[in-house]
Chains A and B, each alone.
Chain A
Amino acid sequence: MAIAPDPSDLLTTAEMAHFVTHGYLAFPSVVPEEINEAAVAAFEPTGALDMLRAKPDSGTPLADLYPDPSPVGAMLRLPRVQGIIESLVGLDAVYDHDWVHTREPGDLADQHLHQDAIIDTTLAFDIQIFWFPRAVEARSGGTGFVPGSHLRQVNEFEIARYQNIVGQQDFVGPAGSVVVFHQGMWHRGRANHSGDRRWLYKIRLNPTTPQVRRWNLADFDAVHGRPSDHIFASYDLNSAAQQFRTPEPWFEMAASRLETVNRSRLWRYVTGDGHFDADWYLSRTEGREQLDQRAG
Chain B
Amino acid sequence: MSPVPTRQQVLFLYLASSALDTRVVAWSSYDGAGEGPTPPVEADPTPPYATGVDALRDGWRLLQASPLQRHLPGHERDTDFLLHEFIFERLVETTTT
Q: Which residues of A contact B (CB under 8 A)?
A: 108-110, 112, 139, 151-154, 158-159, 161-166, 168, 191, 249-255, 258-259, 261-262
Contacts and interface: CB of A to CB of B under 8 A. Distances in A.
Contact of B79 (A109, A112, A191, A259): A259
Nearest to A282: B77
Given A252-B82, A258-B79, A108 B17 contact: no
B39 A165 contact: no
Contacts of A253: 16-17, 22
Contact of A153 (B15, B40, B79): B79
Contact of A163 (B24, B27, B81): B27
Interface string B78-92: 111111100000000
Given A161-B28, A163-B42, A255-B79, 6 more contacts: A109-B41, A153-B79, A162-B28, A164-B27, A166-B25, A249-B25
B26 A250 contact: yes
A168 B45 contact: yes
SS of B interface (majority): loop
A261 B78 CA distance: 10
Contacts of B80: 152-154
SS of A interface (majority): loop
18 contacts: A110-B37, A110-B41, A152-B79, A153-B79, A162-B28, A163-B39, A164-B27, A164-B45, A165-B14, A165-B25, A165-B26, A252-B17, A252-B82, A253-B16, A253-B22, A258-B77, A258-B79, A259-B79
Given A164-B45, A166-B47, A252 B84 contact: yes
A250 B25 contact: yes
A166 B49 CA distance: 12
Contacts of B26: 162-166, 250
Contacts of B84: 252
A108 B81 contact: no
